[in-house]
Amino acid sequence: MRITLSPKGKGNWIVEEKFSIYSKTVKGIIVVPSGFITDLASIPRFLWAICPPFGRYTTAAVVHDYLYRNGMYTRKKCDKVFKEIMKEYNVSKWKVSVFYSFVRVCGKGSFGGKKWKDK
């Protein structure tokens, strides 16, 4: 599946066409609507040479942002969906491990849309 994104201001992207993906973790289809704004993978700029904010994990990052912002599931379940999709998209095992660990440790401040309240 290919998602269509366009730049939307400083570090943000907008989903141009809605897309859906099945998740075993939630036992259902997740639909990300057109117009949804994401920052892709929240990776500090100094690490972009190793892990840019986009890559094989882009779809997982967009879905994760959507789930975090909409509070459809627990934070832990959202993080598991992120991990599941990265694996499905053949993201290297070390990146899956690092990204998953990062959202588990640092994601609390973004869960429930906290990071996006003023955007």
Instruction: Return all residues near 119 (Cβ < 8 A) that are at least 6 apart.
Output: 12, 37
- pTM of the shown model: 0.87
Q: What is the pLDDT of residues 40-83, one digit of tens each?
A: 887 777 877 888 878 899 999 999 999 998 888 999 999 999 99
> What percentage of residues in the chain have a pLDDT greater than 90?
55
Q: What does the pLDDT read at residue 40? A: 87
